[in-house]
Structure 1
């Protein structure tokens, strides 16, 4: 099946353990939305989750989050990759495997080859987050057109992300204050000026979004947002 997925994750800084009750309340909030399956993946200081809904037949079964123990890489994703054949060629992989390899695993193989340059090679709709256990960092991206969403919260002790805002607000350390500036700009400003709003802000002060055609990297307690070029021929 092809999946429409809502993804989520929690990464406490300074090697602190993810609290189980925080995982529970976040994923319980996700289950309020239509879905067929909820899968969790966790190590001591990182949690990834995915709440999925099957929508159309597809050649490859998608199991998310997916963990490659040998490479120490885990991924959760809401993705539909359009240039699979080209990626197989660039990765020097046999196209006969195309029907059996889910998009998420193809993204992970691309990360192994190109690292944080990965989004430049992807065409399609996607929001994903990868846990790189070797370097103890999170890396993710949102597609060029912004068809998928990717929200996050961070303070001095926690980083959490989700493709929906409400599960983030369910976490006890996330402040639920409206962003008056965003509200004024969105509802009161000249509609022709909406495009000039800060693409990272949301209706809540504590919640930020990854803008379209941007990637995010979280290492230690440092969060970096970087713009990438639309799919290019390299």
Structure 2
């Protein structure tokens, strides 16, 4: 049995506010900016605090400045280091401000670029309606992960379904199934099913449902059943529950 993770109390809101107030007095664009004022908080550093401070910043450059300081605090009495969740937090805030190059550079030179992280790039570009950019990042991660990129597959499927690009969604889905490097999960199947259902292609949705190599979840069932009900095919909807 895996050892239980140590419990950490949530960060003190007043501490988060104090750090945020200090950051707001600093100009992160000043090349001569010094991080020494932050050293007073070094003994309080833990991943939960770092994540909450990052999420509290309205200015992404303040968040990045704090993150960079916490990467190598002086002193470092707790031997603090960033966890994956910390990298996710800083990546998300940079992407939410369309700072894609900055986020990539940070990850490339520190934590490393992974399928899980690039999936967030794909979603962020999809949120902006930049389908071409989302596909570019998908091909990038697929190349260096040698196809082992289920998170990015799922992300691009979600982006394309939201844009009603069902033909393109099916092309990516078919590629995922045919190559067999990674196995589709319930999210992969459900996203493809949702894409077909959005376009009224219920027969195609049912085919994907029948071919699932894992158990459907509640969302999967609801998606297919609702699609049949909208078509007035109550018999097929009932059959989904009985099969």
Q: TM-score, length-normalised on structure 2?
A: 0.27
Task: Kindly indicate whether structure 1 or structure 2 has the higher relative contact order, using CA contacts under 8 Å at least 6 residues apart.
Answer: 1
Q: TM-score, length-normalised on structure 1?
A: 0.27
Greater helix fraction, Structure 1 or Structure 2: 2
Greater strand fraction, Structure 1 or Structure 2: 1
